[in-house]
């Protein structure tokens, strides 16, 4: 069974409260013992002293805030074809497609925003893309276990398939001609978010129906990929309040 280590008080607490069946054990420091020991035991999760274990390799030096959980990852990432057969897209459907985002913190933040604003799923390439790890899970505040995460093999082929399913494909680009606040999202939507440094790949741009931009003050050059995604998803959910009810 594939597993990973999730760390940080907020992320682990969310896991215990909502996805305790995935947790294989919780390791707590003396400082976090009062907050987490009884919470874990009520969920029938094994608790061990953090001091008895060395997680430096597993956490790659990350700050764990005194609590670490070993979590089963089986089934977290879904197959694209299987997922697409599980529902019928309509105007209140929105997908977020990551276009080779390599920073796990950005990936996690986008997943968290997608969950917060009622997106249907996050599509993640299997190559040149930060995978779902403990760092991603922490940055998502545990939302990787609540939000459908779907693996795709080729972004452009996936985009063309979504078009056949009557999705409108919106690429997020600073030089896009369409402002997000003037766009009417009245069909199933897929928002494509480009990498931190290069933005959308040239070929991916060509496959998008519309390039969206977030209007900003002239003194600001650009927004972080995860921030841009959050702004666009917030505007989409404003037009589809049923998505967050």
pLDDT per residue as tens, the chain (245 positions):
578 888 888 889 888 998 999 999 999 999 888 889 999 999 999 999 999 988 888 887 777 889 999 999 888 999 999 999 999 999 999 999 999 899 999 999 999 999 999 999 999 999 888 888 888 888 898 899 889 999 999 999 999 999 999 999 999 998 888 999 999 999 999 999 998 777 898 899 999 999 999 988 888 877 889 999 999 999 999 999 999 98
Q: Which residues, other chains included, contact 177 with Cβ-Cβ below 8 Å and sequence gap of 6+?
A: 211, 213
Q: How far apart are CA 122 and CA 115, in angstroms?
A: 9
C-beta neighbour count of 203 within 10 angstroms:
10
pLDDT for 219: 87
116: enclosing H helix or E strand: helix 104-116
Partners of residue 121 on adjacent β-strands: 95
Class of domain 77-244: alpha beta
Stretch(es) of the chain classified as CATH 3.30.1330.30: 3-72
pLDDT for 120: 98
Altogether, the residues listed in the chain come to a count of 245
Q: How far apart are CA 173 and CA 84, in angstroms?
A: 26
**Contact at 8 Å (CB) between 10 and 141?**
yes
Q: What is the dihedral of CA 205, 156, 92, 140, to 10 degrees?
A: -90
CA 53, chain centre distance (Å): 29
Stretch(es) of the chain classified as CATH 3.40.1280.10: 77-244
C-beta neighbour count of 27 within 10 angstroms:
25
Question: β-strands 77-79, 94-99: how paired?
Answer: unpaired
Class of domain 3-72: alpha beta
Q: Which residues, other chains included, contact 32 with Cβ-Cβ below 8 Å and sequence gap of 6+?
A: 9, 50, 65, 66, 67
Q: How far apart are CA 195 and CA 24, in angstroms?
A: 34
């Amino acid at each position: 069974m594939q597993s990973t280590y999730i760390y940080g008080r907020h992320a682990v607490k969310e896991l215990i409260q909502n996805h305790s069946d995935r947790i294989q054990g919780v390791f707590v420091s003396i400082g976090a013992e009062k907050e987490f020991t009884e919470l874990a035991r009520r969920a029938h999760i094994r608790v061990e002293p953090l001091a008895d274990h060395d997680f430096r390799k597993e956490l790659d030096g990350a700050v764990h805030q005194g609590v670490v959980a070993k979590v089963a990852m089986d089934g977290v990432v879904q197959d694209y074809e299987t997922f697409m057969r599980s529902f019928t897209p309509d105007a209140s459907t929105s997908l977020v497609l990551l276009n080779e985002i390599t920073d796990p913190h950005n990936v996690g933040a986008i997943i968290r925003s997608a969950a917060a604003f009622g997106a249907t799923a996050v599509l993640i390439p299997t190559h040149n893309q930060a995978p779902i790890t403990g760092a991603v899970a922490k940055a998502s505040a545990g939302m990787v276990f609540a939000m459908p995460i779907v693996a795709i093999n080729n972004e452009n082929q996936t985009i063309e398939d979504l078009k056949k399913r009557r999705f409108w494909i919106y690429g997020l680009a600073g030089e896009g001609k369409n402002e997000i606040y003037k766009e009417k999202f009245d069909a199933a939507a897929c928002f494509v978010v480009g990498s931190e440094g290069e933005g959308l790949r040239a070929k991916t741009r060509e496959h998008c129906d519309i390039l969206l931009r977030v209007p900003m003050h002239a003194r600001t050059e650009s927004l972080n990929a995860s921030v841009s995604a959050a702004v666009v998803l917030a505007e989409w959910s404003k037009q589809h309040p049923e998505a967050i009810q």
